[in-house]
Amino acid sequence: MEAELAHCPSVVLAISTLTGDVAGGCGSALLKRREHSDGVLFLPLSVPTGDGDQSTDTQNRAAELMGARVIITEAAVREAENPAEYQMLLERIVRELNPHTILIPSQADDNPERREAYHISRAALPMY
């Protein structure tokens, strides 16, 4: 992952919860960053389950159209017994890629999964 983005002067990391969050919520800002040769990564903390689920394909297609990469995690935020696993994942990604910008879900969102992703992100990324 790091080697593929080594040619980019900087990296933007967009953390999402539900399919479409990144593209719908901040897609235009990410496209602008791509114009400046930034590498863009999507990190969904929620992964659809089941065979033939089209939401993963949709998310991957949106990332492809934006020139971004998707990092897939193994479990959904709502299914995680220990949010520390997500915190460690985020800390490792940030340490390896050193993104200049990290976009996270809002604490004020009505969706409980997005609020949980906000709290996990804030705990893992206190310096941002």
Query: Contact, 59 vs 20, CB < 8 A?
Result: yes
3 state SS of 48: coil
Region 81-104: mean pLDDT is 82
Report the pLDDT value the prediction gives residue 5, as an integer from 0 to 100: 45
Whether 80 shows a pLDDT value over 80: the answer reads: no
The pLDDT tens digits for 84-93 are 877 888 888 8
Give the pLDDT confidence score for residue 2 in this predicted structure.
Answer: 45
Q: pLDDT class for 108, splitting at 50, 70, 90? A: very high
pLDDT digits (tens, 9 = 90+) for 14-33: 888 876 787 777 877 888 87
What is the average pLDDT score of the chain? 75
Please report the domains of the chain, with CATH numbers, ordered by start residue.
3-124 (3.40.50.10320)
Q: 118: which residues sit within 8 A by CB, 6+ positions away? A: 104, 105, 106, 107, 109
Q: What does the alpha-carbon distance between residue 74 and residue 100 come to, in Å, rounded to a whole number? A: 25
Determine the Cα–Cα distance for residues 22 and 13; give it in Å rounded to an integer: 10
- Report the alpha-carbon angle 60-64-70, nearest 5: 50
pLDDT tens string 29-64 = 888 877 777 788 888 876 554 444 556 777 778 788
6 pLDDT higher than 60 = no
